[in-house]
Amino acid sequence: MSVAPGDRFPDVTLKVLDAAGAWADLATGTLFAGRRGVLFGLPGAFTPTCTTHHLPGYARRAADFRARGIDLLACLSVNDAFVMRAWADSLAIGDAVRMLPDGNGDLTRALGLVTDASAYGMGPRAQRFALIVNDRTIEGVHVEAPGEYRVSDADYVLRHLG
Residues known to be catalytic: 50
Query: In angstroms, rounded to a whole number, what is the distance separating the alpha carbons of residues 161 and 152?
Result: 12
How far is 119 from 66, CA to CA, in rounded Å? 38
Which residue spans within the chain are E strands per DSSP?
A: 13-17, 23-27, 36-41, 72-77, 98-101, 114-116, 124-126, 129-134, 137-143
Q: Go through the chain and tell me how many residues it has.
A: 162
Continuous H helices in 44-153:
48-49, 55-60, 62-67, 81-90, 106-111
27 vs 37: CA distance, rounded Å = 16
Helix/strand/coil for 82 = helix
Of the candidates 95, 88, 89, 113, which has an alpha carbon nearest to the alpha carbon of residue 12? Answer: 113
